[in-house]
Amino acid sequence: MAKARLNGIEIDYEATGRGRPVILSHGYGATRRMWNGQHATLGDRYRLVTWDMRGHGQTESLPDPAQYSLALTVGDIRALLQSLGARRAVVGGLSLGGYVSLAFYLAHPEMVEALVICDSGPGFRNAEARATWNRRAHERAAALEARGLEALGGRSAEVRQALTYHRSAQGLAHAARGMLAQVDGHVIDGLASIRVPTLIIVGDRDEPFVGACEYMAKKIPNARLEVIAGAGHSSNLDQPAAFDRVLLDFLDSLPA
């Protein structure tokens, strides 16, 4: 556990192990602690970095809503990797963290050795579908502002786990409007341009994202889809042994 002031914000992160760097980003409303099991599993075989995104966990929650965006979050990943001396890394995440990882590749492909996209989607090409998604993101923000952190209750396992670690409901509201909400289809349009090994993981009970993961597996060259039986949206928490087996098999298969 450590803090670093990078890209204009104090970021809370954890780095363990040694060897090939792997950075994993959490989903919306969760924290880096959702990856604690992977820190234990990867041990010294890989250098695992996890972190709290803007407005989440113990990372600083800036009061200005303009300081929350996909581009700034991509910049945070770049700054964190550079601060740790990692010129290239395996980049991945779950849900929003997976979407951010895809955006990071499109912005900085030279820094990505491979991608790990878990229970996530590539965004929307259709403006009406994107507007529906964004309306829900704004509803989440309004609920957080009205009810505080208790508005997160009853959601997925990784979000319930995070409730006691968030510093600011307002920061999460800003993150919903600025990071969870989407402005265009550049990520989904960029899938075919991905040129690194890509692992896509989804729980078979994660109904809203099974189709999205199947779509990404078809569109991304050299992508591998793994469906985790008995897992919902938090595949690494719902079925950790199966998740870790798939993740390690993929990481071990990458060329040295």
pLDDT digits (tens, 9 = 90+) for 2-22: 999 999 999 999 999 999 999
Alpha carbons 82 and 169: distance in angstroms, whole number:
29
Which residue in the block uniquely carries the two structure tokens 């690494």? 236
pLDDT reported for residue 154: 64
Q: Is 74 helix (H, G, I), strand (E, B) or coil?
A: helix
CB 19 within 8 Å of CB 45? yes
pLDDT reported for residue 179: 98
In terms of Cα–Cα distance, which of 160, 191, 136 is closest to 29? 160
The per-residue b/e assignment along 157-174, b for 16 or more CB within 10 angstroms, e otherwise, is: bbbbbbeebbbbbbbbbb
Alpha carbons 246 and 255: distance in angstroms, whole number:
17
Comparison of pLDDT for 154 and 33, the residue scoring more:
33
How far is CA 241 from each of CA 162, 207, 236, 237, 248, rounded to the nearest angstrom?
Answer: 21, 21, 8, 9, 11
Q: Total structural domains in the chain?
A: 1
CATH of the domain at 135: 3.40.50.1820
pLDDT reported for residue 232: 96
pLDDT reported for residue 252: 97
Two tokens, residue 56: 């989440």
Q: 1 falls in which pLDDT band (50, 70, 90)?
A: confident
In terms of Cα–Cα distance, which of 5, 165, 9, 137 is closest to 73? 9
In terms of Cα–Cα distance, which of 104, 110, 107 is closest to 24? 104
pLDDT reported for residue 164: 81
Domain, as residue range, for 90: 2-253
* Tens digits of residue pLDDT in 68-125: 999 999 999 999 999 999 999 999 999 999 999 999 999 999 999 999 999 999 999 9
The per-residue b/e assignment along 184-221, b for 16 or more CB within 10 angstroms, e otherwise, is: ebbbbebbeebebbbbbbbbeebeebbebbeebbebbe
pLDDT reported for residue 11: 98
Global pTM value:
0.96
pLDDT reported for residue 163: 75
pLDDT reported for residue 150: 85
pLDDT reported for residue 18: 92
CB 158 within 8 Å of CB 165? no
Q: Is the pLDDT of residue 155 over 80?
A: no
